[in-house]
Amino acid sequence: MAATPETAAALVVLLLPLLGFLVLFLAGKRLPRHGDWLGIGLTAVAFILSGWLFSQVWNTATFHTRTTWFSVPGNSLADFTAGILLDNLSVLMLVIVTFISLLVQLFSVGYMHGDRGYSRYFAFLGLFTFSMLGIVLVDNLLLLFMFWELVGLSSYLLIGFWFEKPAAVAANKKAFLVNRIGDIGLLLGLFAFYTYFRTFDLETLRALIGNGSWESGSFIATYTLNGQDWLVELGSVFLTAAGLGLFMGCVGKSAQFPLQVWLPDAMQGPTPVSALIHAATMVAAGVYLVARCYAFFTLEALTVIAIVGAITALIGALVALTQYDIKAVLAFSTISQLGYMVMGMGTGAHDAALFHLSTHAFFKAALFLNSGIIIHAMHRGLHHHHLHLDAQDIRNMGGLRKAMPLTFYTYLVATAALVGLPLFSGFLSKDAILSGSWAWAQTMGGGLYFVVPVIGFTVVLLTAFYMARHMWFIFFGEFRAPFAVQDVRLSVGQEVERVMVLPVILLAILSLGIFFSLNPLSFGSSWLMQGVSLHRLSHSAILYGELLQAVQAQDTANHTLHIVFGILSTLLGVAGISWAILKYKNRTNEQLWQEEPQGKLAQLSHQHFRLNEFYDRTFVQPTLALGHQLYRIDKRIIDYTLNNGSKALVILAKVVAWIDRWVVDGLVWLVGALSKVLGRVGRGLQNGKVQSYYAYSLFGFILLMLYIILF
């Protein structure tokens, strides 16, 4: 297909962050002091172009340009193509990724000022943005997997940015390895589809599946490739396994149970990195993958996805209840909210899940950046007084509401959105997921299926509690660190660097519901949900599309229940907040400062249900033990055998050389010497004198006679 101005602009958007990475990484030390603005400027241009693409594509048209990447001669396979796909989903993600990346880079100018790896930091941000944009724009699974791995690499570099800290090095290795487990499933899934359909192209795959049908429990489709007709007959089990393989990529990247253990450790990276990678973009890549491949999932696969999402949402919320590290609370909250999104995908609330992905990007990025401001301020006070307390422990905070009013109000708005209070964005998107999951349970026949939406409502209560507790420890009561609370400020009248103010204000404003729906109390009128709804996909191109249509019809019929769910989720939010306030309002500063998890359940929650210990005992330690045993075998047996064998061979070689020199060569020399002596004797006998011949004959006769006489 011929390129269009839109796809050309999308290619420019993709390459701009890569250009920033190359310049800053290769020549960062030789750039002027303000070389960071190069990366910010390029990202700003990318955001502007993304906004233009959004205006050209959203609810208007789809642009798809592809070209032949390479072909394998002499076989019947289709050519491998590479292309750019622009539809509502891709341009929405383009705007989110470039906007959040721009704000994070702007915030980082103040947060990372003076760091020794300043240029390297902005270079890695550019590499991450490039990788994430590649996932969003490409039109086939093979290219998507390549950019998927680049995202893993760039996140590894950013998590371990402060590589002189052992904890950061351990965290980036853990994130990298755990994500590779999910990526193995993704790789197997995409090759499973390629094995039968002979293409990685997403649009072609969707069309082929759309042309197929179910007969006697098997999926049958026909297609023509290079002039040959192909018949595909796949069992439901195989299609389910292939779809779950693709979902495994989401389990790793979007921190779903049981691979969510890497995300809390990843908080060892700089706080702006947490906002960019672990709140708004990278962890959302898995949800985007499920949305992009939504047509390929069977009913069984979607059910598994819904259950995994519900379990993840519950575990994340339960663990967040007992955390004291300011970023750990937000990290487990992110795990919980990602579980909501995946649960929405599994229950057929495709549009609601993407809606929550978008709202979550703004309010969670606001929370992380604000936590960065607080950590920055705490470090300032601790450094001024030469104290060695944990600057991220919320038990050392308190009373920051008056000292840092701007941070307090922006944090409060983002928290309200996360809790899902009315008039805030989280209320709309979370309510949409809860309503969709309830309609799914009704359509599936009720019973145990209602456990999924019930878990969703339970998580609303837990979210309200742990965020209210979080806010209370940080902003209310008296300041608990051993220095004056005013010492956390930069100066009188200034609580934070000016360059860090704009990002948090913008993100807090975008956490209001009015930006996503003209009626901020009803998700049904959301322009964003309507733009990413399933009716924009062909129902014939979705496995079990009839079921999803039935879920949508049931959800539409539950109009009264939508109001009930909105009221119920609000009451649960208010109950969670009240529960936290009643629990902590009468506690003294000393009690708050010394608080520890009480009871076995609380300790289990604080330790992330000991999943890390379980994995350590079950997988890590046996693997290390196996590695050590193999090392010992290699060292004591293989190396010993090789070393001593080589010595024996050297000795043998020397013996053989001695034999060769003294025996073989000696015998050859002896034969030559004897021949020479015998030659000389023979020559002496042939002297031409008759008397000599007579004497030799007589001597020979005498010898002959002696022989006869004696023998």
- Structure confidence by residue, pLDDT tens digits, 292-338: 999 889 889 999 999 999 999 999 999 999 999 999 999 999 999 99
**pLDDT band, very low/low/confident/very high, at 75 (cuts 50, 70, 90):** low
The pLDDT assigned to 71 comes to 78
Question: Is residue 223 over pLDDT 80?
Answer: no
The whole-angstrom separation of Cα 545 and Cα 552 is 11
CB 107 within 8 A of CB 369: yes
Question: Is residue 560 over pLDDT 60?
Answer: yes
The whole-angstrom separation of Cα 374 and Cα 369 is 9
The pLDDT assigned to 203 comes to 86
Average pLDDT, integer, range 113-125? 87
**Least confident range of 141-150, 316-325, 416-425, 630-639:** 630-639
The pLDDT assigned to 106 comes to 93
Other residues' Cβ atoms within 10 Å of the Cβ of residue 626: 10
Q: Which residue has the tokens 């970023």?
A: 327
The whole-angstrom separation of Cα 431 and Cα 40 is 36
Token pair recorded at residue 503: 């990002």
The whole-angstrom separation of Cα 308 and Cα 316 is 12
| 590 strand-pairing partners | none
Q: What is the pLDDT of residues 578-614, one digit of tens each?
A: 999 999 988 888 888 888 888 899 999 999 999 999 9
Question: Is residue 359 over pLDDT 80?
Answer: yes
The pLDDT assigned to 509 comes to 96
3-state secondary structure at position 215? strand
All structural domains of the chain with their residue ranges: 1-139, 140-595, 614-682
Q: What is the overall mean pLDDT for the chain?
A: 88
Token pair recorded at residue 183: 């990526």
Question: Is residue 173 over pLDDT 60?
Answer: yes
Q: How would you classify residue 226: left for phi > 0, otherwise alpha for psi between -120 and 50, otherwise beta? A: left
Question: Is residue 357 over pLDDT 80?
Answer: yes
Average pLDDT, integer, range 14-22? 92
Mode of pairing for the β-strands spanning 63-70 and 213-215? unpaired
**pLDDT band, very low/low/confident/very high, at 414 (cuts 50, 70, 90):** very high
Q: What is the pLDDT of residues 682-700, one digit of tens each?
A: 776 677 777 777 787 888 8
The pLDDT assigned to 375 comes to 92
For residues 264 and 224, the model is more confident at: 264
The pLDDT assigned to 74 comes to 62
Nearest to 200 by CA among 143, 150, 245, 149: 143
User: What is the DSSP secondary-structure string of 576-615?
Assistant: HHHHHHHHHTT--HHHHHT----SHHHHHHHTGGGHHHHH
CB 133 within 8 A of CB 314: no
The pLDDT assigned to 96 comes to 95
The pLDDT assigned to 541 comes to 67
Helix (H) or strand (E) holding 232: strand 228-235
Question: Is residue 34 over pLDDT 80?
Answer: no
Average pLDDT, integer, range 339-345? 95
**pLDDT band, very low/low/confident/very high, at 538 (cuts 50, 70, 90):** low
Average pLDDT, integer, range 613-640? 90
State pTM to two decimals. Answer: 0.89
Question: Is residue 259 over pLDDT 70?
Answer: yes
**pLDDT band, very low/low/confident/very high, at 678 (cuts 50, 70, 90):** confident
| CB within 8 Å of 586: residues ≥ 6 apart | none
Q: What is the Rg, in whole angstroms, of the alpha carbon atoms belonging to the chain?
A: 37
Nearest to 248 by CA among 279, 290, 288: 290
For residues 251 and 61, the model is more confident at: 251
